Structure 1
Amino acid sequence: MALTRMRALGHLVVVMAMLVITACQAGPGATGDTGAATDGGGGSTGGGAVAEVARDRTLIITPWSDRTGPLTNPENWNIYQSGNQNQRQVGSKTIYEALFYTNLNTGELIPWQAESYEYNEDFTDITVKLRQGVEWADGEPFGCNDVKYTLEMLRDNAPELNYSFIYAEWLQDVECVDDLTAIIHLTKPGPRWFLSNLALGHENHQVMLPAHIWEGQDPKEFANYDLASGAPIGTGAYKLVSSSAQQMVFDRRDDWWGAKVGFEDLPAPERIIMIPVGGDESMAQLLIANDVDSGHPLLPGSFTATTGRNDKIRSWNREGPIWGAPDGCGYNLVFNNAKEPWSNRDVRLAINYAIDRAELSTLGYENANYPIVLPFSAYMSGRWMTPEIQAIVDKYDRNKTDPALVDEHMTAAGYAKDDAGLWAKDGETLKVPLRTPQWLAPLAPVMAAQLSRAGFDAIEMLEPEGSSAWTDDIALGNFDTMFLVHCGSITEPFETLKDLHSKYGPPIGEKCPSIIACTRYSNEEYDALIDEMEAMPGSLDNARYVELTNQAVDIYLNDMPELMLLEELHVVVFNETYWTNWPGDEDPYAAPYPPWEAWNVIVHTIQPAQ
């Protein structure tokens, strides 16, 4: 696999590499010299020239693996507008900061815009103490009014805006005791609510907006983009100076509040540039040429081939075959439980027993990850795989390939093999369309072959590069089966088990509120367990919570509304040619994933190689 990918490098991505190199030399990017001024490279620059910055003082990144092709929304920085991923891909590293981050490797809370938070006794009020001296990029002080505006704005604009469904369900209001003290009043007990949404440093891209700019705007339409006036304005250490589909350029603000008040030194990169990437092969070529420092992960074979041509490239672990850190997620096969035949438990179980998870890892990922059957990430599974849960896992024994059980469950579902050896019912062959986003491409051919051996008419449906149509389709229920990831169980089981609650499964044609919760599974007994768990802290010391967890896991493994496949352990990449002090197994100061909020901590920690 590695040789095939490397042969492709010279043919498939040379154009992409040349475009990037040209952009960095001719646009407002990084060069070998300093001091020269250039134009905006095709993007708006607010009317002024953008000075060049030396390559060894410039951090160059790409979007994450689920966003290939030209950069999207270069002139729309409304980070809460549906479909806008600017915060996830680059805003979190540059413009917008969080109240808190968490080092998910250790559980350490990292206060940033805020200093502390505290719940009341019944977990309905959260008192947040904000840090004194935090300023927006235009010099205005950051305070409680910004918190109040942002959270209540999201509450009042559900479900149209990103994350707004959370605030419509949970937020009563925000009370400003003074400029630096906010009390968040919840509609019901939420012992994990604040951490999950406003302090985790994971895929919780819920940051505060400057009320003095956003008030009076329509938050569903406001583009928040005017470089001449400084927009987008955040509290982060960087400002956007040029933006196009080819590159986004951010320059360090030497008046950043953190340096002024002695909170943190200025980050070392003087400039951050985000450039597009075409996928695994093009990322490998960019790394080999030292034209990028981090971003899109590599497949294991591409990684080992790339390090053979550039020994400055590393991942989280220095040795394989498992190179990556836990991602808080697992690869899964999502069934549309609101649609026949996927609503039939026997069909789901038959497909489960047709697949070989170990082979998926070996052939798809060269053993760089490992099989799982529960949506528990490696961050918490070591603590929560209790003897009781292990006994439930053993009882159902879902992680096995068993042709006899395939036959048993397909027969129970009313199917029989036709003359071609394929499962059929009422004269119609059962087709299993394996819809696959590009970044999950290694899964499709391996599983398709496994299903075919078991008599299923499996169809590989790889999404076109750069396509995001699958995101709308899974949200609306316009799919049969799809490879995706199930994320969330960072500290406790509830964080992913809740995603199977029927409240997240609207009728087909209506959007589910969270893309990782679109199975449209419905089970009243399961819902009742989740409802009770929601109101209590998730702790192994809480006997009732543990009991509810065990019951929910039992229903989950009995029904298999989704198939968890493999632990998601991406080969994250760091280039040490120009930058050092990257996080790794030997220094796990932050989780390494670029689309997570806490990557801002990495920006503030890396140092020039020389």
Structure 2
Amino acid sequence: MTSRKTQAKRREFIKLTAAGTVGAAAIAACAPTAAPTAAPAKPAEAPKPTEAPKAAVPEPTKPAAAAPAPAPTAASAKPAATSAPAAAAAQPSGLKAIPRNRTLKVVHGGTESKHKDCDIWNPYVTGGTHQAQQGILFEPLAFYSVFIDKEILWLASGYEYSSDMKQLTIKTRPGITWTDGAPFSAEDVAYTLTTLKELGPKVKWGIDVQQVVESATATDANTVVVKFKTPNPRFFDLLTYKNDIGVYIVPKHVFSGQDWTSFKNYDPAKGWPVSTGPWKVAFSAPEQKIIDRKDSWWADKAGLAKLPRVERIINIPFVSDQPTAQALISNEVDFSYGLQPSTFPTIFAQNPKVITWTGQKPPYGNVDWWPISLWLNNTKAPFDDPEMRWAVSYYMDRQTLVEVGWAGASSISKFPFPTYPALNPYVESIKDLLQKYPTDLYDPKKGDEIMTKKGYKKDNAGMWVDSKGARIKVEVMGSGSSGTALGPVVGELLKRAGFDAAYSQPPDASTRFANGEYQAMISGHGGSIRDPYNTLRLYQSVSATVTGGLVNNAKFKNADYDKIVDEIAMTPMTDKAKLTELFRKAMEIWLPNLPDVQLTEFHHRIPMNTTYWKNWPTAENPYCVPASWLLTYAIWLWTIDPTQ
């Protein structure tokens, strides 16, 4: 629950904001949920184990009586709605009856309350994505679970690099078949990599493979030899499923001869899509996607994982917080897309069986790999000067950002890395540098000292002006939930510091950010999960090792930094001593330059209903991240157990 201290700080911040400049959006995003106006209703009772459901999707006009769920906050990126998460849809004809207590109902995905991608089951096609249930059909060579720092070999039984790191040999498991009975083999892996190399930027992961792979060859049914253009000790990591990263291995006998950019891979008459996993698409329409479990699975026979107890997944499109909360309260759904912090107290009050990663306590979710920062364009004055970027950092009251922007349900970010077990030792190794360069310090006096040193003075209105009397105008942009939650607060903090700042969310904000046509932008970023390289690479201006594909949104340039990161790229992930040494050298450059100002961590605030299912991933049982749209979704599908 939101603490009284946090509520008081939010009220005080808003009160002190001249003319309400934080705006209604931030106030709504931070406002505590109103207490229910009636006694909490008893959640709907679970049916008996032998009772088959009467409909594949619950009838939205007949929820259990309950006090109204909270209205969606302004921080939600979705439109408000008063309907249930999906329109009423009877079970399609021809499907076998599955009891409710063997059915997993998930609210996720959709555009304008519909699965407009319901005929797309190819993650490589234009408009395709693993986040739309496709990820569980294309099993990986390996998984990596971030919170337990564990690699789990899957379709691959092993792999080995040559001593010069220019060749990777992958062994695949024998005895695996696709849904249609065709054998899975090394040919599927070699075909996937070869086609990605040919297609390059036309498809996801194409350019990543094209840049480094010379050839990929199946030397026998269970051996793939990948040769690289230059040493590449990290390529198997690219092939490993974690968060949103991982190459999808496709069936050669289905994809060969198809145009990957247009082939949708959906033809029920042909049994498409095929899969090596325990799942098959039973029905797919704008109102719902239904995925049924197969009766057997190679991983169960091999002793790697048990056959999932979930026998049917029903994926209902997300509409907004309000109808989703109602469905959770009445036990109509088991799992949902992330909700806003202010939504959870009412859900917990009316259905105590709903939990999150952190139980029923803030931040109501797990740390994502998406730390949020205030990006300042390093090529545009005045923020082309590192000292000016530090001045902005000193003006950022990050605790206020947490308590006002995220209603207390977040945490401060000190580095551009998530606080994951594999990364924490690297961060610990430079604690002394953090003392010298305190990226989380709120100290307006230090900011003022820098501004004065740079020749700025304050006018009669308390705004910084240059020698010509011109104020420093700062256009702060943002997008999505992090922009809506933090943007107005960041804008107000900059105004209080003396900048002529304004926050907005223009429709082209993301495009302008990607093209470098911005001054200040609130955004998170992916990157490192297992070691520092993928995040450090985000700040490279050029690379002598990796051609193209660099995403340097800060437009930071430092030749020495570039060389160090290239050396990290050539260092095996297992050589932690050398990586730690190089990481320190890189951060000795990064910290004083401060390419972007660190703000808060980002959390996936996901509700999980224990009425029908237990053993969900949580902070106390962190076997994988809980997000169903990430590539480790399959792990918790085979791990959760029915409650009856």
* TM-score, normalised with respect to structure 1: 0.85
Report the counterpart of residue 141 of structure 2 in structure 1.
Answer: 99
Aligned residue in 2 for 1:43: none
Residues 303-322 of structure 1 aligned to structure 2 (within 5 Å)? 303-318=344-359, 320-322=361-363
- Say which of 61, 68, 83 aligns to 2:106: 61
Structure 2 residue aligned with 1:210: 251
Q: How far does residue 146 in structure 1 lie from its aligned partner after superposition?
A: 1.0
**CA distance 1:14–1:459, change in 2 (3 Å):** closer
In 1: Cα distance, 2:146 partner to 2:285 partner = 33
Residues 408-461 of structure 1, C-alpha deviation per residue, up to 9 Å, x if partnerless?
A: 444566765556444456646513223121355322232222112112233333
Residue 163 of structure 1 pairs with residue 208 of structure 2: no
Superposition deviation, residue 569 in structure 1: 3.4
Counterparts in 2 of 1:416 and 1:273: CA distance versus 1, 3 Å: farther
Equivalent position of 2:161 in the other structure? 119
Separation in 1 of the partners of 2:593 and 2:281? 49
* Residue of structure 1 in register with 2:62 after alignment: none
- Counterpart of 2:568? 533
Per the alignment, do residues 474 and 227 of structure 1 end up closer, same or farther by CA in structure 2, a change over 3 Å counting?
A: farther
- Aligned counterparts of 2:431 and 2:459: Cα–Cα separation in 1: 39
Q: Which moved more, 1:276-285 or 1:140-149?
A: 276-285
After superposition, the Cα gap between the structure-2 partners of 1:541 and 1:277, relative to the gap in structure 1 and judged at 3 Å, is closer
Q: Larger deviation: 402-411 or 364-373?
A: 402-411
Q: Contact 1:423 / 1:430 at 8 angstroms: preserved in 2?
A: no
Do structure 1's residue 2 and structure 2's residue 32 form an aligned pair?
Answer: yes
Contact 2:168–2:225 (CA under 8 A) maintained in structure 1: yes
Write the mapping of 1:473-492 to structure 2, written as runs, cut at 5 A. 473-492=512-531
Provide the rounded CA distance (Å) in 1 between the counterparts of 2:204 and 2:514: 13
342 and 429 in structure 1: CA distance in 2 versus 1, 3 angstrom threshold: closer
Moved more, 198-207 or 473-482: 473-482
1:435 lines up with 2:478 in the alignment: yes
Partner residue of 1:592?
626
* Residue matched to 1:325: 366
Measure how far apart 1:529 and its partner are: 0.9
User: Using the alignment, how far apart are the partners of 1:441 and 1:50 within structure 2?
Assistant: 43
Relative to structure 1, the CA distance from residue 412 to residue 217 in structure 2 (aligned partners, 3 Å threshold; closer, same or farther) is: farther
Output one character per residue of 1:306-350: Cα deviation in whole Å (capped at 9) or x when no partner: 111111111123363344333233222233435555444344223
Q: Structure 1 398/19 Cα, relative in aligned 2: closer, same or farther at 3 Å? A: closer
> What is the CA-CA distance between 1:373 and the residue it aligns to?
2.2
Query: Any idea what SS the aligned residue of 2:133 has?
Result: helix
* 2: CA distance, partners of 1:525 / 1:67: 45
Look up the SS of the partner of 1:352 in the other structure.
helix
Q: Out of 78, 86, 90, which is 2:122 matched to?
A: 78
Equivalent position SS for 2:175: coil
Identify the residue that residue 291 of structure 2 maps to in structure 1.
250
* Structure 1 residues 333-482: aligned runs within 5 Å: 333-379=374-420, 380-387=422-429, 389-410=430-451, 417=458, 420-423=461-464, 427=470, 429-438=472-481, 440-462=483-505, 471-482=510-521
2:326 — aligned with what? 285
Residue 540 (structure 1) shift? 7.2
Segment drifting more, 584-593 vs 257-266:
257-266
Report the secondary structure of 1:442's partner residue: helix
What number of residue pairs does the alignment pair up?
Answer: 573
Shift of the alpha carbon at 1:598? 1.4
2:616 to 571, 579, 582: 582
Instruction: State the AA in 2 paired with 1:551.
Output: K
CA shift in 2, pair 1:479/1:54, >3 Å: farther
- 2: CA distance, partners of 1:67 / 1:205: 25
Matches within 5 A, 1:515-554: 517-538=552-573, 541-542=576-577, 544-554=578-588
What is the alpha-carbon root mean square deviation over aligned residues? Answer: 3.1
After TM superposition, give the deviation of residue 500 of structure 1 in Å. Answer: 0.9
Report the Cα distance in structure 2 between the residues aligned to 1:141 and 1:487, rounded to whole angstroms. Answer: 35
* 1:568 to 2:617 alignment: no
| Preserved CA contact (<8 Å) 1:434 1:458 | no
**2:337 aligned partner:** 296
Cα distance, 1:478 vs structure 2: 4.5
- Given the alignment of the two structures, is residue 223 of structure 1 paired with residue 264 of structure 2, yes or no? yes
Match runs of 1:256-267 below 5 Å: 256-259=297-300, 264-267=305-308
**Alpha-carbon spacing, 1:213–1:478, altered in 2? closer, same or farther (3 Å):** farther
Secondary structure of the equivalent of 1:434?
A: strand
SS at the partner of 1:385?
A: helix
Structure 2 distance, partners of 1:414, 1:162, is 48
Task: Find the aligned partners of 1:398 and 1:369 in 2 and give their Cα distance.
Answer: 17
Structure 2: how far apart are the matches of 1:524 and 1:14? 45
Please report how far the alpha carbon of residue 595 of structure 1 lies from its aligned counterpart in structure 2 after TM superposition: 2.6
Distance 1:323 1:540 in 2: 36
Aligned AA (1:527): D
Write out aligned runs for 1:33-52 (5 A). 37-38=92-93, 49-51=94-96
CA deviation after TM superposition for structure 1 residue 69, in Å: 5.0
**Is the Cα contact below 8 Å between 1:133 and 1:261 reproduced in 2?**
no
Q: Compute the displacement of 1:14 (Å).
A: 12
Q: Take 1:567 and 1:137, find their aligned partners in 2: how far apart are those partners? A: 41
2:33/2:345 contact within 8 Å kept: no
Post-superposition offset of 1:6: 7.6
Question: How far off its partner does 1:99 sit?
Answer: 1.2
Query: AA paired with 1:20?
Result: P
* Contact 1:360–1:446 (CA under 8 A) maintained in structure 2: yes
Could you tell me which amino acid in structure 2 is paired with residue 102 of structure 1?
Answer: Y
Is residue 135–residue 235 contact of structure 1 (8 Å, CA) maintained in 2?
Answer: yes
For 2:540 and 2:374, the matched residues in 1 are separated by 18
Q: CA deviation at 1:376?
A: 2.6
**What are the equivalent positions in structure 2 for 1:595-606 lying under 5 Å apart?**
595-606=629-640
Q: Distance in 1 between matches of 2:79 and 2:373?
A: 33
Provide closer, same or farther for how the CA distance between residues 96 and 439 of structure 1 changes in structure 2, counting only shifts above 3 A: farther
1-structure distance, mates of 2:570, 2:291: 42
- Find 1:142's aligned residue among 173, 184, 192: 184
Could you tell me the TM-score, scaled by structure 2's length?
0.81
Distance of 2:372 and 2:336 partners within structure 1: 20
Instruction: Give, in whole Å, the separation in 2 of the partners of 1:144 and 1:540.
Output: 29
Letter in 2 for 1:528: K
Q: 2:85 aligns with which of 6, 12, 20?
A: 20
Residue ranges of structure 1 left out of the alignment (5+ in a row): 29-36, 39-48, 505-511
Amino acid at match of 2:639: T
Quote the Cα distance in structure 2 between the aligned partners of 1:598 and 1:445: 34
Alpha carbons of structure 1 residues 274 and 319: separation in structure 2 relative to 1, 3 Å: closer
Q: Residue 279 of structure 1: CA displacement?
A: 3.9
